[in-house]
Amino acid sequence: MAKYDFDMFTIGAGSGGVASSRRAGTYGARVGICEDSRVGGTCVIRGCVPKKLLVYGAQFADAFADAAAYGWTAAPPVHDWASLIAAKNKEIGRLEGVYHKLLKDSGVKLIEGRGRLVDPHTVEIDGERYTAANILVATGAHPVLPAIPGIEHAITSNEALDLAALPRRIVIVGGSYIAVEFAGIFHSLGAEVTLACRRDELLGGFDDDVRVTLAQELRTRGIAIRARTDITRIDKRDHGCDLATAKGETLSADLVMYATGRRPNTRGIGLEEAGVRLNASGAVTIDTWSRSAVPHIYAVGDVTDRLNLTPVAIAEGRALAETLFNDNPVEMDHANVPTAVFSQPPVATVGMTERAARQAVGAVDIYRTQFRPMKHTLSGREERTMMKLVVDRRSDRVLGCHMVGADAPEIIQGLAIAVKCGATKRQFDQTVGIHPTTAEEFVTLRDKVPEPKAQAAAS
C-alpha cells in the first residue's frame, strides 16, 4: 500500500502548476492539483491571453486610420466594447475547458477548492486531507494597491479586463508593462488616457533607449505621461474621481486604474507553518532546482518572484517534473530569457541592457537605429522604430537585442535563439537579411554609437 495518496500534489492550477502536473502525470506519477478559482491561472484567465485579445482589438484602430492611404474607402468605424468583452470571455471559457481536458488526459486529479498545508506532506481542501510525497506550490501572484485614502475607488488589471463600458477618461497609475499595455488598449479604443508614474521614465529595468523611445511614441499618439507624479489620495466625485498629487495638483478621470506591482499568493496557505521560508516580499525562497527550505516542497512561477513570465513558469514546472519523475535532472536556466511588452507600439528584448552590460563586461559596442517603417511612408503615420544591439567588445558576442516597433515580439523571439547560442556580431553581419523587412535591420547595423564620453564632449 502506498505511503501517500499522491506522488506530487500541486497547489494552484495556473500555467506553471498545470505544466508540471501534466508532465509528471505522463511519466506515470500519481498527481493531484487544486484550484480555488478558474483553471488556467493568471495568464489564461486574467492576464496574458485576455489582454492580448484586447490588444488585437485595439490595433484595428491604426489599420482603419491607415487604410485610406492604401486606396481603401470605408465608413468611419464604430467600436462596440461590450462585443469585444463578450468575445474575449467566450474564448477564455473555451481555453479553460481545454485546460481541464489536458489535466484529465494526463491522469491528473483536479480538486476544486483552496489548498492549505497542514504539515509538510499534507494538503487540506474544504476539510478533506490529501497526502503527497512531494508538494508543488504554484499559486501565482495578485495585484496590490497602495494604502492611500480613497484607494477603494481604483481598479486593477483584473477588473479592467471585464469593464461593462469603456471609460471616457482614465488615469493609469504606474509605469510597468501592464500600465503601458492598458494605456494603449484604452487609448486606441477611444479613451483619453493619462499615465501617472513616480519614476522619470516608464518600464523600469528595461534598456534606457527602449524606455525613452516608448515614452516618445506614446506621447506622439496622444497619451499623456505624468512622470515623477506621486498620488496621495483619490476622491470620488459626480464626474468620476479626482486624484491629488504630492505636488498639489489634481488629475480628474472617470476611472482610475493601478498597475504598481504584484505580490506572491503565499498568505493563509500554511507555508511558514510547514517550514517553508518566505523572503521580504512574501515570495517562496527556493534554490536553483525550485526546492524550498523543506526538501520535498517546491515552488515555481510568480509565487517565487524570480522572472514573472508565463513561459518561465512553464519551463520551471516541466524541469521539476523531469527531475522528480523522469530520472532526468533539469536545472532551469534563467539567462537570456526574451520578453515582450504588448504596448502600442510593442517592445521586445532579450539579453542584457546597455547599462547591465557595461557593469558586467566593461567595454561594449552599441549599434542603434531609428527609422520610419516602410508601411508608414504612404499612411503618413508619425511612428518610428528603434532597434539596438549590445555587443561585448572583447569577444564580439551579442549580449542584448532590443526593439520598439511593430512586430518586435515576433522578431526578437527569433533573435533570442541566436543570443542563447552565443552568436557574435560578425555572425549577425554575415547573415543575409530578408528585404524589404524591418527585421533585416538587425543584420545590417554597421555603425557604432559613439561612446557616452565622446557624445558628451561633442555636445
CA distance 106 to 101: 9
**Within a domain: residue 332?**
no
Residues 56 and 95 in one domain: yes
Q: Which amino acid is at 18?
A: V
Supply the range of the domain harboring residue 87: 6-141+263-325
Per-residue pLDDT at 459 exceeds 70? no
Find the catalytic residue in 79, 296, 334, 435: 435
| Whole-number Cα distances in Å, 101 to 22, 30, 40, 137 | 11, 17, 12, 22
Number of independent structural domains in the chain: 3
CB atoms within 10 A of CB 226: 18
> Could you tell me if residue 333 is inside a domain?
no
- Residue-wise pLDDT tens digits, 258-317: 999 999 999 999 999 999 999 999 999 999 999 999 999 999 999 999 999 999 999 999
Q: What percent of the chain has pLDDT over 70?
A: 98
DSSP letter assigned to residue 440: G
Active site residue 435: yes
Instruction: Give the Cα separation of 40 and 313 in Å (integer).
Output: 13
Q: Write the pLDDT tens digit of every residue in 116-126.
A: 999 999 999 99
In a domain, 371, yes or no: yes
- Say yes or no: 300 and 250 in one domain: no
Q: Are 36 and 98 part of one and the same domain?
A: yes
Q: Which of 205, 226, 260 is the last residue of a domain?
A: 260
Q: Are residues 270 and 122 in the same domain?
A: yes
Q: Are the beta carbons of 293 and 312 closer than 8 angstroms?
A: no
Per-residue CA distances from 292 to 123, 135, 298, 316 (Å): 16, 10, 5, 14
Q: What is the pLDDT of residue 454?
A: 58
Residues 137, 267, single domain; the answer is yes
Are residues 137 and 207 both part of a single domain?
Answer: no
Residue 33 resides in a domain: yes
Residue 204 resides in a domain: yes
* Domain identity same for 14 and 110: yes
CA dihedral 37, 43, 46, 52 (to 10 degrees): -160
Task: Check whether residue 78 and residue 175 sit in a common domain.
Answer: no
Specify the CATH number for the domain of residue 412: 3.30.390.30
Could you tell me if residue 375 is inside a domain? yes
Residues 297 and 343 occupy one common structural domain: no
pTM as predicted = 0.95
Domain boundary among 206, 228, 260: 260
Alpha helices in 39-198 (DSSP H): 41-46, 48-67, 81-105, 157-160, 177-188
CATH number for the domain that contains residue 173: 3.50.50.60
User: Pick from 325, 353, 378: which residue ends a domain?
Assistant: 325
State whether 26 and 113 are in the same domain.
yes
- 267 and 256 in a common domain: no
Q: Is residue 377 part of a domain?
A: yes
Instruction: Reply yes or no on whether the pLDDT at 58 is more than 70.
Output: yes
pLDDT at position 266: 97
pLDDT tens per residue, range 365-420: 999 999 999 999 999 999 999 999 999 999 999 999 999 999 999 999 999 999 99
pLDDT at 458 over 60: no
Helices assigned H by DSSP within 189-282: 208-221
The mean pLDDT of 88-96, rounded to a whole number, is 97
Residues 123 and 256 both lie in one domain: no
Report the candidate in 52, 11, 4, 50 with the shortest Cα–Cα distance to residue 29: 4
Residue 215 lies in a domain: yes
